[in-house]
Amino acid sequence: MRKNIFPDETGMRLQNLFESSSRLSQLHICFHDCLNSSGLPSYWCMHSHPACEKYKRTGLSTCVNYDRHKVHKELAAFREGRIQNCPFGLTEAAVPVIVNGIFAGVLFAGPCWRGKGKPPHPDLKVVPDEQWLQDRLCLLQALAEKLSTVLEGRDRLSDGGRRARVLSFLNKNIEKTLSIGELAQDLCLSASRTGHLVKELFGMSFPRLLSSLKMQRAAQMLVSDDMPVGVLAIRLGYSDQNYFTRVFSRHYGENPSSYRKRHPLQA
C-alpha cells in the first residue's frame, strides 16, 4: 500500500499559503505538481479562474500543450520565471519550482488582462502598469522558494535537516540502483545507523522509502511523458518491466498503463 512520505499536514499548510498568496496578489495561484508531492486539492493544481474555465471548455488541448509542454520545458531551464501571455491572450506570471535539485513543476499567478480594450471576461483583473506585474512575479518567486522549503522538509528544524538531505540524495540518484551503504557514505554514518535514521525520519525501511520515491517519479513520468513503460522502467533502474509493473501496481493499486489513462494532463 502507498504511504505518503510527507507529513499529513503538509497539504493543509500549503493550501493556507496559497490562499494568502492569492489574496495578496489578487490573482489565482496554482501549482502544476509534476512530482505529485504537494497534497494540494485540484483547485490549486490547475487554472481554475472563470476565464480559464471558459476557454478550456473548447480549447483544453491548446491549454495543455502550452502549459504542460512549452512552458514546463522552457521554465525548467529558466529559474527566475517570467511574465507571459497564454494562447488566448491572457497574462500570467510563471515560476518553476525546484525540489532537491529536481524540476518539480510550475507556479502560476493569473490570469489578468493587459490588452487593449475591455477584458474578455468580467472577472479578469486589469493590469494597471508593468510594475504591478513585476511585483506579482517577485511574490511568486518567493512562494516558489517557500514551496521548495516545505517539500524538501527544510522548514522542519527538529531533525536537523537530515530528512531533507536524505530525500535530496535519493532524488538526485533515483535512476540508479542504490544501496543503503551509498546513502550512509553520503551521511557519514554507518549502514546500521542510517537504516535506523531512515526509519525514524520516514516511518519505513530504506528499501520501502526508495521504492516509494521511484514509484512517485514513475507516476510523474507516466502523465508528463509518452515514453513506453519499458523505457520508463529502465530509466528508474528496473531492467525487468514485469517486475516494475508489479511494484507499481502494489503501490498505486493499478498498472502503469491504467494509471496513465486515468490521469490525463490538466491545464
Q: How many CB atoms lie within 10 A of CB 11?
A: 17
Q: How many CB atoms lie within 10 A of CB 124?
A: 21
Q: Determine the pLDDT at residue 9.
A: 66
Q: How many CB atoms lie within 10 A of CB 86?
A: 23
* 111-117: average pLDDT: 95
Instruction: Give all domains of the chain, ordered by start, each with its CATH number.
Output: 10-152 (3.30.450), 157-262 (1.10.10.60)
Please check the confidence at residue 176 and state whether its pLDDT lies above 70: yes
Please check the confidence at residue 240 and state whether its pLDDT lies above 90: yes
Q: Determine the pLDDT at residue 8.
A: 54
Cβ 220 vs Cβ 243: under 8 Å: no
Confidence of residue 227 (pLDDT cuts 50, 70, 90): confident
Q: Determine the pLDDT at residue 155.
A: 66
Cβ 136 vs Cβ 103: under 8 Å: no
**137: its cell numbers:** 512575479
Helix H or strand E encompassing 246 = helix 241-252
- Beta strands per DSSP E along the chain: 29-33, 82-85, 91-99, 102-113, 125-126
Give the whole-angstrom CA distance, residue 118 versus residue 160: 53
Asked, as a colleague might, if the bond just before 41 is cis with ω within 30 of 0, I would say no
Q: Which of 99, 106, 100 is nearest to 76 (CA)?
A: 106
Please check the confidence at residue 265 and state whether its pLDDT lies above 70: no
